[in-house]
A and B are shown apart, each in its own frame.
Chain A
Amino acid sequence: MSGGRWRPFWPLAVLLLLLVVPRLDVRLPVLFDGALNSPGNLHLLAVGFAYGIAALSYNLLFGYTGVLSFGHALFFGAGVYLPTIALREWEWGLVPAIAFAIVAGLLLAAAVGAVSFRTHGVYFAMVTLAFAQAGAVLVGKNVGDLTGGEEGLSLPFRQLPNWMVGVVNTENLYWLALAVLIVVYALALRLVTSPTGAVWQGIRENEGRVEMLGLRPYGFKLLAFVISSGLATVAGIVYLFLIGSATPRAVSAEFTVTLLLMVIIGGSGSLWGPIAGAVLYYYLDERLNVWAASDAVADLPAVLREPLRDPLFVFGVIFVLLVLFFPRGLAGATFGRRLGPLQRAVGRAAPAPGIAHEGDLPR
């Protein structure tokens, strides 16, 4: 790509495009059904934005602090389930229900993080997996008769303001999702360029050296965890209003893995990469079925046609090919920046403070 000095501006161009999408009455055959600004397509993009917020929040932890958590779905799930329960069971108003979910999500994150950060690396990943799995069990088995078990819960639409309900108001939800995405992006940008963000990236590169400088990595990691989890809760709330129901998938370990895929496909070295990865993921998830039904694919022999119909299968294959042949992700960050976090996470033992270990070698 030529014109490197234009690089900083093209995310702005994408943003402008997203701002005019609801007014664009154009048809993009194959890519989108019907007009681009039809409710179906706006909804598709809006859910992509909600996933984008979740992937961005995951990347604050994974890409910027170098912490691999398998428990992120717990906090996304809190954003999906807590407002639903507050609205349905306790018949709270919308604003208190949202505030409750965010506060509860932050407190939960503080508690889980405070305990889990006593371990490192792959063990941290496993402790967080355990906490998230505990949450998934409570939700899936319908403990206390609050969560609706495997069936999930639908949002009580009568308690929502009119502008949020119904197909005709999809555009409003699009604006809501886009607005939250922009605010969260700005907040994340502010954070990663702040002194605290610098310490996070220092921990990612070498936790021992940060400690040598007289800073306690524990507090900084915990802060990253709480902020990242709180943003995941926000993503869950946005997702809830778009989908209209809470289902156990939102709390599952599979969902955390999905976030990890989105982040890696997009590239963990940038803030916008994971958002692009998330939107692409959801877009493919929705569109592959449509493409599989098209004439071009219907003429293929069943051996090819049937697997192509299945989004998860195609995604798995794309992911493997990407890792094998195109390992930098969409955002194309350097090898070290992209995989440093995982490197540390799966490294054998916790690095002894201040002592060089395998991961310290110059790349």
Chain B
Amino acid sequence: MSTIILLTLTGLALAAMYFLLAAGLSLIFGLMDVLNFAHGAFFTWGAYAAWWTIGEVSSGPRGSTLGFLLGIVAATVLVGAMAAAVEIGLLRPLYRRPIYQILVTLGVGLALAQLTSVIWRPDARPFPQPGWLASTSTVFGARVPNNRFLLIAAAVAVLAGLLLFLRKTRYGLIVRAGAENREMVQALGIDVDRAFTLVFALGGALAGLGGAFGAAYFGAINPGLGSANLIFAFIVVVIGGLGSVSGSALAAVVIGLAQQFGNYYTTWAGDFIVVLLLAAVLLLRPRGLLGTLR
């Protein structure tokens, strides 16, 4: 019983991490038609930004609570700014040419991820966490690391915030309308280009946040962290339905749990089940769980 609870909570934490990556990917694709291959690099940079900040702020091998909080803020802000810079500097000249934009994100992703390896060497680094975050709590007999709960809480907060933003604000309305019919929104005199920058920066900031929490989840960081998770995030986005935030959340839970339970029984079954799920969904319901057919 305690094993099942542990696997469930760890699987949900994994789902939370995938969701933080997938939500941005899904919004960006929905609005801009761009599969953002730089998203994995954003995740990696979030992890490194948090790691660097904690190291600078805390003294001793354990990270301090203040350091961790500052690390999360730094990861979100820095990567959000990085994404905005990529969008304005490199994607904006290529508007209305999504193919070129995808290729640029491919190159940017490669270069940015590799830059972490240039600056901090390719080796894995342990991620210092404050004691309370690394220690465990007992839930029905299962000893679960606290960072799992924090990650789940963060993802739920992000999901709620995103849904509120999309449904209740003017900008959210523009993003939703733009995803449905961009030309019509433009014809109504609304500047969609600003929405592009906003969504790209928002997606980047969420990936940075995911990277910071992902670093705590894995307990160590390396330059390949983002690209390893990007594939699963793509799978989550496609299963959930391209452009649908709630679909991504639902798919993330399915994938996170399937992977965690599968990998418990044999080391490879979880990853294998996930890709089979993707193939099955694409063949039986290509629009994804909650996506609309377009």
Q: List the interface of chain A (C-beta within 8 A of B).
A: 115, 118-119, 122-123, 126-127, 129-131, 133-134, 137-138, 141, 143, 253-254, 257, 260-261, 264, 306-307, 309-310, 312-313, 315-320, 323-324, 327, 339, 342-343, 346, 348-349
Contact = CB atoms under 8 A, between A and B. Distances in A.
Contacts of A257: 37, 106
B107 interface: yes
Given A134-B276, A312-B114, A313-B118, A346 B294 contact: no
Nearest to B288: A123
A324 B278 CA distance: 33
Which residue, of A127, A260, A309, A342, has the highest number of chain B Cβ atoms within 10 A?
A127
Contacts of B279: 115, 127, 130-131
Given A126-B282, A313-B114, A315-B110, A343 B272 contact: no
Contact of B278 (A126, A312, A349): A126
Interface string B79-117: 000000000001001100011101110111111101101
A353 to B, nearest CB: 16
| Chain A contact surface mostly | helix
Contacts of A134: 272, 275-276
Contacts of B165: none
B293 interface: yes
A79 to B, nearest CB: 21
Given A316-B112, A320-B108, 8 more contacts: A118-B283, A119-B282, A119-B283, A126-B235, A130-B235, A141-B271, A319-B103, A323-B107
B35 A346 contact: yes
B174 to A, nearest CB: 19
Given A129-B234, A342-B99, A138 B283 contact: no
| Chain B contact surface mostly | helix
Contact of B107 (A122, A137, A319): A319
28 contacts: A126-B278, A127-B278, A127-B282, A129-B231, A130-B276, A138-B268, A141-B267, A254-B227, A307-B115, A307-B118, A310-B114, A312-B114, A313-B111, A313-B114, A313-B115, A315-B111, A316-B107, A316-B108, A316-B110, A317-B107, A320-B108, A323-B94, A323-B100, A323-B107, A324-B90, A327-B100, A346-B99, A348-B294
B286 interface: yes
A127 B37 CA distance: 17
Contact of B103 (A122, A254, A264): A264
A319 B106 contact: yes
Contact of B118 (A133, A310, A315): A310
B98 to A, nearest CB: 6
Interface string B229-245: 00100110010001000
Contacts of A126: 234-235, 238, 278, 282
3 tightest Cβ-Cβ pairs between the two chains A and B = A316-B111, A316-B110, A319-B107
Contacts of B102: 342, 346
B111 A122 contact: no
Contacts of B294: 348-349
Interface residues of B, number: 43
A148 to B, nearest CB: 14
A260 B106 CA distance: 10
Contact of A320 (B35, B104, B293): B104
B90 A319 contact: no
Contacts of B238: 123, 126
Nearest to A125: B35
B117 A310 contact: yes
Given A119-B282, A127-B278, A313-B111, A343 B99 contact: yes
Contacts of B110: 312-313, 315-316, 319
Contacts of A309: 118
A257 B118 CA distance: 21
Given A134-B276, A307-B115, A323-B104, A348 B235 contact: no
A348 B33 contact: yes
Interface in B260-289: 267-268, 271-272, 275-276, 278-279, 282-283, 286
B100 to A, nearest CB: 6
Contact of A317 (B94, B106, B111): B111
Interface string B107-138: 11111101101110000000000000000000
Contacts of B272: 134, 137-138
A163 to B, nearest CB: 37
Contacts of B282: 119, 123, 126-127, 130
B258 to A, nearest CB: 13
B140 to A, nearest CB: 31
Nearest to A316: B111
Which residue, of A129, A130, A254, has the highest number of chain B Cβ atoms within 10 A?
A130
Contacts of A122: 35, 242
A143 B268 contact: yes
A25 B231 CA distance: 47
A123 B291 CA distance: 13
Given A130-B279, A141-B268, A343-B99, A349 B118 contact: no
B211 to A, nearest CB: 19
A221 to B, nearest CB: 16
Nearest to A135: B275
A131 B271 CA distance: 11
Given A119-B283, A130-B279, A257-B106, A324 B35 contact: no
